[in-house]
């Protein structure tokens, strides 16, 4: 097998183009591309040309397109952020990499593990980096949890327990359902769209999950995809875990909690709500609070820009992100 070609780092600024400048780009990610040092936002694309133009004008972007191919071909675009639904991630990422342009892909990396493998193959063949928006790996909230675990404060890790329950989205019962519950667009349902964040951050905190099994069901009957999932899994280190996810549960049962138990204590935290990190050991108890960043992806985007300029390495790439797709596909028995 031939070694992957070496990517030549950019001289800043990295000029970005966005494919799919929708809701996620308004606050979570888009502004970070022009607020990060060594980075600029050169062009945006959306199939609705009016909305693409509107986004561009409001964010001070010089050019906008309604065709992804035109953005990828734009000589003023160095790298591409793909913020479309998962069903088009592989297509756009492969087109951009074959054009010599690094990509930063929204999560989940693709609509299936097979597509992730195809994307990684092209990245290796071309030598063009592919990075993935599992931005929790760069947030101070989760870095504090990693520090607690790595320091041995709660001892040797024994097990993990995930509990997530939320009520159905009002749109779930409407004729025009969100793409998140349409498997042909999302890959599966809310589990694929949301649980990927939890499973990926556990990969970051505890290492690779090497075995996973699950049961999925549709209990509320609001859409075709699963709305309830139970799973068990095992890490390469021998740590075992289990999880339950319910996306059509009564409001009174709301829960967003991950508990990691060690031989000397435990740490509890949330994937989404930024609830206080709670650490309890045999001798002590502590609580840590971190605010939600204004642009939640900015720390990750800063690391991506640093890697593309040869000044560092992003903690989330196609290899780590594909592992998360693999675990989800095994849980859903796909």
pLDDT 10s digits, 232-256: 999 999 999 999 999 999 999 999 9
How many CB atoms are closer than 10 A to CB 11?
Answer: 10
pLDDT (tens digit per residue) in 258-296? 999 999 999 999 999 999 999 999 999 999 999 999 999
Residue 216 is predicted with a pLDDT of 98
Average pLDDT in the 30-40 region? 98
Going by the DSSP 8-state scheme, the letter that residue 88 receives in this structure is G
Tokens matching residue 38: 């060594």
**Which residues make up the CATH 3.40.50.720 domain(s) of the chain?**
14-134+297-315
Is residue 307 classed as helix, strand or coil in its secondary structure? helix
Asked if pLDDT for residue 297 goes beyond 80, the answer is yes
CB count, 10 Å around CB of 320? 19
- Structure confidence by residue, pLDDT tens digits, 311-329: 999 999 999 999 999 999 9
pLDDT for the residue numbered 2: 63
- The three-point CA angle 217-219-225 to 5° equals 55
CATH architecture of the region 140-292 = 2-Layer Sandwich (3.30)
Distance CA(162)–CA(270), nearest Å, equals 9
The stretch 220-239 carries a mean pLDDT of 97
Band of pLDDT at residue 53, cut at 50, 70 and 90:
very high
pLDDT classification of 55: cutoffs 50, 70, 90? very high
- The confidence score (pLDDT) of residue 136 equals 98
Please count the other Cβ atoms lying within 10 Å of the Cβ belonging to residue 31.
Answer: 19
CA distance 81 to 17: 6
Average pLDDT over residues 18-36: 97
Positive or negative, the CA dihedral 105, 81, 188, 172 is: positive
Q: Looking at residue 4, what is its pLDDT?
A: 84
CATH for 14-134+297-315 is 3.40.50.720
pLDDT band at 15 (very low <50, low <70, confident <90, very high): very high
For the chain, percent of residues with pLDDT exceeding 70: 99
Q: What is the DSSP string of 35-83?
A: HSTTEEEEEEE-SSHHHHHHHHHHHT-SEEES-HHHHHH-TT--EEEE-
Among residues 186, 55, 178, 134, the alpha carbon closest in space to that of 296 is found at: 134
Distance CA 272, CA 256 (A): 7
Give start-end residues of each CATH 3.30.360.10 domain in the chain.
140-292
What percent of the chain shows pLDDT beyond 90?
Answer: 97
Q: Is the pLDDT of residue 1 over 60?
A: no
Q: How far apart are CA 241 and CA 259, in angstroms?
A: 10
Helix 113-126 vs helix 318-331: crossing angle, to nearest 10: 160
Q: Give the pLDDT score at 3.
A: 77
| pTM of the model as a whole | 0.96
User: Which of 167, 192, 205, 158 lies closest to 331, judged by CA?
Assistant: 192
């Amino acid at each position: 097998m031939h070694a992957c070609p070496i990517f030549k780092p950019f001289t800043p600024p990295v000029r970005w183009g966005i494919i799919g400048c929708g809701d996620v780009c308004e606050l979570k990610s888009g502004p970070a591309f022009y607020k990060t040092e060594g980075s600029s936002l050169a062009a945006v694309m959306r199939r609705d040309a009016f909305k693409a133009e509107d986004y561009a004008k409001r964010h001070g972007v010089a050019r906008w397109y309604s065709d992804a191919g035109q953005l990828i071909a734009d000589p003023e675009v160095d790298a591409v952020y793909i913020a479309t639904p998962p069903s088009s991630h592989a297509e756009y990422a492969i087109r951009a990499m074959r054009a010599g342009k690094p990509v930063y892909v929204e999560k989940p990396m693709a609509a299936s593990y097979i597509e992730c493998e195809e994307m990684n193959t092209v990245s290796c063949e071309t030598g063009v980096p592919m990075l993935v928006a599992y931005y929790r790996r760069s947030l101070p909230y989760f870095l504090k949890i990693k520090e607690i675990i790595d320091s041995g404060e709660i001892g040797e890790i024994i097990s993990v327990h995930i509990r997530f329950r939320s009520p159905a989205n009002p749109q779930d019962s409407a004729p025009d359902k969100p793409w998140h519950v349409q498997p042909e667009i999302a890959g599966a349902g809310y589990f694929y769209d949301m649980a990927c964040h939890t499973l990926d951050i556990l990969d970051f905190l505890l290492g690779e999950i090497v075995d996973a099994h699950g049961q999925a069901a549709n209990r509320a009957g609001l859409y075709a995809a699963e709305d309830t999932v139970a799973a068990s899994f095992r890490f390469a280190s021998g740590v075992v875990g289990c999880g339950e996810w319910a996306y059509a549960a009564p409001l009174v049962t709301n829960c967003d909690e991950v508990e990691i138990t060690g031989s000397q204590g435990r740490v509890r935290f949330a994937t989404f709500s930024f609830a206080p990190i709670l650490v309890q050991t045999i001798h002590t108890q502590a609580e840590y609070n971190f605010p939600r960043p204004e642009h939640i992806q900015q720390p990750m985007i800063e690391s991506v820009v640093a890697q593309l300029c040869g000044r560092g390495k992003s903690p989330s790439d196609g290899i780590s992100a594909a592992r998360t797709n693999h675990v989800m596909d095994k849980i859903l028995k796909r």
